[in-house]
Structure 1
């Protein structure tokens, strides 16, 4: 009877381990398929960000350099918020494109806020490097308060705001705004 109980216990443990591994493989395959669609241009951007025409959702955060960042500080001029994730391989490219975005829009670092979500410090450092002097960077955990408040469902997501504090654009994708700007 003892051998039968141990055998069933071992079978249960192996089955549970198999389930965990299969779920991990499925998750990775889904992520790989999304990245493939993004690279090929066949990816339909999911709705991400606050609704256009609505007031900018209020927030208070602290930038990586220790300065406070608030939604009120963005009112009175056009501004952009970009949400990136350390788990998103495409986000590194999007971060690298932000200096060109700043140049073409004429926005300064106080008008461009970049929120990097996730716990991978090396990936966050890689994304932050090209943003020095170009954007105000805020770090948070995955699905942190800013990403949740702004209804970010996919990264990268860009939110544009007019001088009145109204959301004029909110979309996920690699370069949704940069692609539409004049050279």
Structure 2
């Protein structure tokens, strides 16, 4: 019987030490990790692209109308959509309504993959770019999520971003 008690106590001590070491490793990993493309603390919300105050990187792309667009042409609203993405199809009409208010020359819609339905909704009110998921505009914005919308000021810095139109315009300063 004393051997059984000793074995149980030893097993409990080993388990406690293992738990403490595991918690220490988790804490160290949290301190060292940060999301890509921003260098923010691990406690920040996950980033799907550029944060407010940051400009997109240089890029050039061609719209479905054959117009060449570069990062210097971007101010207003930029939306990222994906083919076969149900939330993208839900957001597109709201995006189009806001784009109509802002004016076509201030709005860019980037569609990853081929989606005639999205193009039909967005082309009348936005300059549409169709590219792969790792295309030039996606890379310039470090965009990793769809749908995702950015509001950029005249200085081409991100003013607000989000996955819904209400996120976008509720974050923008008055």
TM-score interval (norm. to shorter): 0.5 to 0.7
Report the Cα offset of residue 151 of structure 1.
Answer: 1.4
Unaligned runs of 5+ in 2: 1-44
1:100 aligns with 2:97: yes
Contact 1:82/1:159 (8 A) holds in 2: yes
User: What is the correspondence of 1:36-115 to structure 2 with a 5 Å cutoff?
Assistant: 46-74=46-74, 78-103=75-100, 106-115=101-110
Aligned equivalent of 2:136: 145
Give the greater-gyration-radius structure (CA): 2
Under a length normalisation based on structure 2, what TM-score does the superposition of the two structures give? Answer: 0.65
Contact 2:110/2:128 (8 A) holds in 1: yes
SS of corresponding position for 1:165 = coil
Number of aligned pairs? 127
Contact 2:108/2:129 (8 A) holds in 1: yes
Distance change in 2, residues 1:90/1:179 (3 Å): farther
Q: Aligned match of 1:166 in 154, 157, 173?
A: 157
Runs of 4+ in 1 over 4 A off after TM superposition: 178-181
Measure, in 2, the Cα distance between the counterparts of 1:147 and 1:97. Answer: 21
| Alignment RMSD | 2.1
Contact 1:110/1:135 (8 A) holds in 2: yes
Under a length normalisation based on structure 1, what TM-score does the superposition of the two structures give? Answer: 0.62
Measure, in 2, the Cα distance between the counterparts of 1:46 and 1:128. Answer: 29
